[in-house]
Amino acid sequence: MFEYKKNKLDFILLTFFSIYPLAILSGNFAINICFLIIGSIFFYKLVKKETFFFEYKNSLFLLLFLFISLLINLAFSNDIYLSYQRVTKFFFVIFFIISFKYLIINSSKNLEIIYKFWSIFFLIVIVDLLIEFFVGKNVLGQSSIMPGRLGSFTGQESVIGHFFFGFCLIFLSFLYTRFKKDSFTLILASSLIIISFLIGERANLIRTFFAISLFIFFINKIDFKFKILSIILIIFSGYLIIQFNTDQSYKLRYGPMKSIFTPNGLTKYLDKSEYGAHRNTAKEIFLDNPLFGVGIKNFRIESRKEKYNDSEKHMLGSNHPHELYYEFLSETGIFGFSCFLIFIFSSIIFSIKNYLKKRNIYQLSGIIIVIISILPVIPIGSFFATYTSSIFWINYAIMMGYNYNKKN
Residue 246 included in any domain: yes
pTM of the model: 0.90
Residue 139 included in any domain: yes
Residue 336 included in any domain: no
- pLDDT at position 5 is 46
Containing domain of residue 254, as a range?
107-261
Residue 16 included in any domain: no
Sign of CA dihedral 164, 339, 286, 304: positive
Residue 370 DSSP SS3: helix
Query: Are the beta carbons of 208 and 126 closer than 8 angstroms?
Result: no
Query: Are the beta carbons of 299 and 330 closer than 8 angstroms?
Result: yes
Catalogue the long-range contacts made by 285-290 (C-beta closer than 8 Å, 24 or more residues apart): 285/330, 286/326, 286/329, 286/330, 286/333, 289/330, 289/333, 290/333, 290/334
Mean of per-residue pLDDT scores for the chain: 83
Query: Are the beta carbons of 133 and 102 closer than 8 angstroms?
Result: no
Residue 214 included in any domain: yes
Residue 43 included in any domain: no
Torsion of CA 236, 241, 246, 252, to 10 degrees: -120
Under DSSP, the state recorded for 374 is T
Q: Over the stretch 92-140, which tens digit does the pLDDT of each residue have?
A: 889 899 999 888 887 777 888 999 999 999 999 999 999 988 888 888 8
Distance CA 27, CA 248 (A): 31
- Distances in Å between the alpha carbon of 40 and those of 13, 32, 169? 10, 12, 28
Q: Over the stretch 307-325, which tens digit does the pLDDT of each residue have?
A: 777 655 555 567 778 889 9
Query: Are the beta carbons of 100 and 398 closer than 8 angstroms?
Result: yes
Query: Between residues 182 and 253, which one has the greater pLDDT?
Result: 182
Residue 280 included in any domain: no
Query: How many structural domains compose the chain?
Result: 1
Q: Over the stretch 35-73, which tens digit does the pLDDT of each residue have?
A: 999 988 888 888 877 666 666 778 889 999 999 999 999
- Distances in Å between the alpha carbon of 254 and those of 149, 238, 322, 373? 12, 11, 19, 21
